[in-house]
Structure 1
């Protein structure tokens, strides 16, 4: 019996050598439907649905690798987003600088051996200045989410709907069309020949840092300076976007110089240098394909170009070009904090500054173009830039620097943004411009007490948070102090005038003496800025704006009440400001191509004529104010030149530069379309004056200011930059 039975060890050895039966898995269709499969081929469910049955064993099954805390962190981020959307302050699990990178990692599955992201806690102050987040959705992303396979770790696959594929397809289907704006080029332009000499490049760069950068702060000096120095050593191999930015810097630097200084430094007329560098900037922007470019340097160069051509183009044309820049900025996400938090702290900050500069510039040009559309509204949520120095930012940093409670290099820009942010949320401003948007600012500006003013809180905040730290002997601080106070006075004037138009609003709500006091404050601040030697290197920014609304308000009050407690002081203040503004008049007087001066002279002289009429009844002896004497002298010269034009050929020499009329200051934020646009630094060539030949020389004098409906005018104040011969001044 023992000989018939094999050893036990032999049986075990034979059994271990037998192949194990392969496990039969559910077919792919049953797995997707999550139904029970009979594991036959074809299975019952596939036969019933008349579908092709594909056994799972025919495909290699990938091992699922999930980050075990992914679901919890995704839910936490969702709750944080809800808190931000409802403007609720909280301490986030991770700061804004890393949240964008972290969220992008959550969009893909983590391998088991992949290190989870490091989560850092931010200080509570990082969200203290957060506004409501408006995070829009892309319809293609929503569709992709709908058709996502729940059994797959990743939310992307080869057959997913991809918005980037559509963009690439359109780019390939249509030719490059940036010549829509700057014209087509039959031959390539070697713009390396348009660069100045290296020694002049460094001089222009220094002028930019001294005269322009403090008022704009849209570039980062520590990181950009090395690139400029390197580019100057090899002008034929410059990165396209950097080259466009360099030409934009050339334009702004030349723009900031007086005509005499420009010729003394560079040995060429200012108008010639501007034309050369503006052409170079155009060609560099074309090389960047700026209509489809998403690089910040390219958009900054476009902003500089638009500022430099302001004095030689119409506001309507420039407003259309600004629409391109604004739409480009929106495509890049400059207006949306949910997009900015995905950038590095330095990049996010520069994008915020660039967005505010574009918005403020666009608002001013819209006013000049008599456009009712403006981007200075509460419909976007880009934050005010941080009050920090350029040295506080580094390209490799991951954390945002601290928002300092002191004066920094960006003081002018920060205060300008604060004032602009107030305007876009001010109820009286929206009531005049966009009443439908008032509901968006209920939580930002609570209703003031009866008889109170929205401007009171603005003034208190600006004075305590910024101006109290300023040194009046510092040029930038001096500029900030008086431009901010002039703007606050302008806000008070507009707030009072906003009570006039409605028939349901009693006339008693408007305080005439108070509005005149506000207008006088505007002129006094403007005079301080113009007469101070501290503002010499920033004087170029004053040429676009003129305190027109202040003169209108004062003159109309003096016309109706020529003898009042404010009359003598008002004539003295207007005379001081007039002399400061017209100090650069040539000896031959005001050229013919200054039609707006006639409007200005008309209402000032009407006010003085009313004063003379009242004195004839009282027998009072009057001495004409300095502003009246000067205007009458200038008007006599205009009449004399008009007669010479009628009897002989025009004296082109007297018209070159049209510097007989002052450029407006940063105080003027009205949408009247009566903006002064001629100045000593305008640099209009004689040939370009023909663009204004259709303006009647007598028509501006034929209207009666008493018949104007001042209440119906669009008193939309804006923190808007100047252009042409201006920079980005504080709003007034």
Structure 2
């Protein structure tokens, strides 16, 4: 759809086709989502508050998308609307409805054969390429289902029988073209998406916990590490000569995915070793284990994608890829080891990655709206508050010990008098008095662990609307199902180290 079509739709909306009208509203919704995601930037002049405007467009899209035309006669334009809509919603919400909506888009796409190569259907080169772009975009969105929702994808995100879109610029494809353009070996306007797609296709079998029957889990983990390292080196080498902001972000995006895989594999290795050696009396603090460092490395890599500069423009997009596993694992480790040199970096990263309304220095310590009931943020906030409570308890105990020592040597004021005026350091440089921290704890009593409860006991985070995958069981409770860390090596048959996948 060109600019002239958008202008014509704006001028005469009643005469516009259904799909064109819906696509115009999807563009509106996407524009506001992308322009207004980061509150740190200067305010943008909008007809009304951005949330009100987004809600207005959302209502319009919801009405247009439930009509019989979409269900009975889906076309490429209508599916593009759904793809844009779901992408923007994933940047703002992590609820079940977004996953369901993408599932609807996938079913409708399959109903018109979008999952098949258009060349086999005797479609034009332009139609074939556009359909491939749309189908793989839906697959990439669906690849978030395991970590976001606890469900396996409803489509095969590997799908070796369907090629990826060509690595070409947009101006190289047009409706009247009679043959496919020659794909480029360098950076194009499609490279970012192809890097993203390849990362998802590699990440899925690495993290998949189904159909895994390897006899030697540790050997299998070693082989997967080699594949990840090879793909990471290939990615960095392929675009090492490209010096654009977007290309650097794309490589960083891929690197973040590989770091996530490294963390999960390390966690599986530690759990496997624990089971094999039956090391029930392992006293190594969680924050000193390699998995904790790798989890922090992943969080830091993710934070780089949105910390400022050119990357801040795409913060809304990278918000889709919140590293739930690593974030939950770091919080769980902080519950058992909340203080120490090793934890300062982790605390800073946790606070940077939490939504603004949930940060310690914000105006709210609770979770509301999209961060409320049923949201994964709610349960991560439970973990964070338990870790904060443990941190507070440890710091107060240390201060009590220090004051008691001083009092016995110098005969100074009692512990309670000194603690009332002491300040306890908080992550990201914020400080608060003991009374202020106590006040925060009273605001969320249901999140704070009972002082008599062992911090190592499993957290009761089971909830009917969010079935945890084995990986979640690992990061929350430190264990995996017997076969959860095994892998079928055949998944990697299509990933040779030196193959040009893009």
| TM-score when normalising by structure 1 | 0.49
Number of equivalenced pairs:
423
Query: C-alpha root-mean-square deviation of aligned residues, in Å?
Result: 4.3
Q: Note the C-alpha offset of 1:460.
A: 1.6
For 1:531-610, list aligned pairs within 5 A: 531-554=307-330, 556=332, 568=341, 570-572=343-345, 574-575=347-348, 578-579=351-352, 588-591=363-366, 593=368, 595-596=378-379, 597-603=381-387, 605-606=389-390
Distance 1:340 1:235, change over 3 A: farther
Q: Note the C-alpha offset of 1:492.
A: 0.4
State the structure with bigger RCO (CA 8 A, min sep 6), 1 or 2: 2
- 2:296 aligned residue: 520
Q: Secondary structure at the match of 1:712?
A: coil
Q: Secondary structure at the match of 2:305?
A: helix
- 2:17 aligned residue: 239
For 1:197-276, list aligned pairs within 5 A: 224-258=2-36, 264-276=44-56
Residue-by-residue CA offset, 1:597-649 (whole Å, 9 max, x unaligned): 2322323553675688689889999974535956989865545656xxxxxxx
Contact 2:169 2:190 (C-alpha < 8 Å) held by counterparts: yes
Q: Note the C-alpha offset of 1:419.
A: 0.2
For 1:75-154, list aligned pairs within 5 A: none
Contact 1:388 1:403 (C-alpha < 8 Å) held by counterparts: yes
For 1:382-393, list aligned pairs within 5 A: 382-393=162-173
- 2:59 aligned residue: 279
Contact 1:523 1:547 (C-alpha < 8 Å) held by counterparts: yes
Residue-by-residue CA offset, 1:420-452 (whole Å, 9 max, x unaligned): 11123x3x423x23438x9xxxxxxx9787695
- Answer yes or no: is 1:433 the counterpart of 2:210: yes
Contact 1:516 1:554 (C-alpha < 8 Å) held by counterparts: yes
- 2:252 aligned residue: 482
Distance 1:630 1:289, change over 3 A: farther
Partner Cα distance (1:520, 1:273) in 2: 37
For 1:289-304, list aligned pairs within 5 A: 289-304=69-84
- 2:490 aligned residue: none
Contact 1:389 1:410 (C-alpha < 8 Å) held by counterparts: yes
- Answer yes or no: is 1:626 the counterpart of 2:404: no
* The one of 179, 184, 191 aligned to 1:411: 191
- 2:499 aligned residue: none
Gaps in structure 2 of 5+ consecutive residues: 373-377, 407-421, 459-475, 487-502
Contact 1:590 1:634 (C-alpha < 8 Å) held by counterparts: no
Q: Secondary structure at the match of 1:382?
A: coil
Partner Cα distance (2:97, 2:426) in 1: 40
Distance 1:454 1:312, change over 3 A: closer
Distance 1:513 1:608, change over 3 A: farther
Q: Note the C-alpha offset of 1:254.
A: 1.7
Contact 2:125 2:178 (C-alpha < 8 Å) held by counterparts: yes
- 1:141 aligned residue: none
- 2:479 aligned residue: 711
Distance 1:521 1:387, change over 3 A: same
Distance 1:634 1:550, change over 3 A: farther
Say which structure is richer in helix. 2
Q: Secondary structure at the match of 1:302?
A: helix
Contact 2:109 2:115 (C-alpha < 8 Å) held by counterparts: yes
- For the pair shown, the structure with the greater C-alpha radius of gyration is 1
Partner Cα distance (1:391, 1:311) in 2: 28
Distance 1:504 1:270, change over 3 A: closer
Q: Note the C-alpha offset of 1:386.
A: 2.0
Contact 2:306 2:314 (C-alpha < 8 Å) held by counterparts: no
- 1:8 aligned residue: none
For 1:316-331, list aligned pairs within 5 A: 316-331=96-111
Residue-by-residue CA offset, 1:145-201 (whole Å, 9 max, x unaligned): xxxxxxxxxxxxxxxxxxxxxxxxxxxxxxxxxxxxxxxxxxxxxxxxxxxxxxxxx
Contact 1:572 1:625 (C-alpha < 8 Å) held by counterparts: no
Distance 1:561 1:638, change over 3 A: closer
Distance 1:626 1:243, change over 3 A: same
- 1:530 aligned residue: 306
Partner Cα distance (1:417, 1:494) in 2: 20
Partner Cα distance (2:224, 2:169) in 1: 40
- Answer yes or no: is 1:336 the counterpart of 2:116: yes
Partner Cα distance (1:274, 1:545) in 2: 21
Residue-by-residue CA offset, 1:486-530 (whole Å, 9 max, x unaligned): 211111011222335569963699997432332222222233233
* The one of 492, 498, 501 aligned to 2:268: 498
Contact 2:338 2:388 (C-alpha < 8 Å) held by counterparts: no
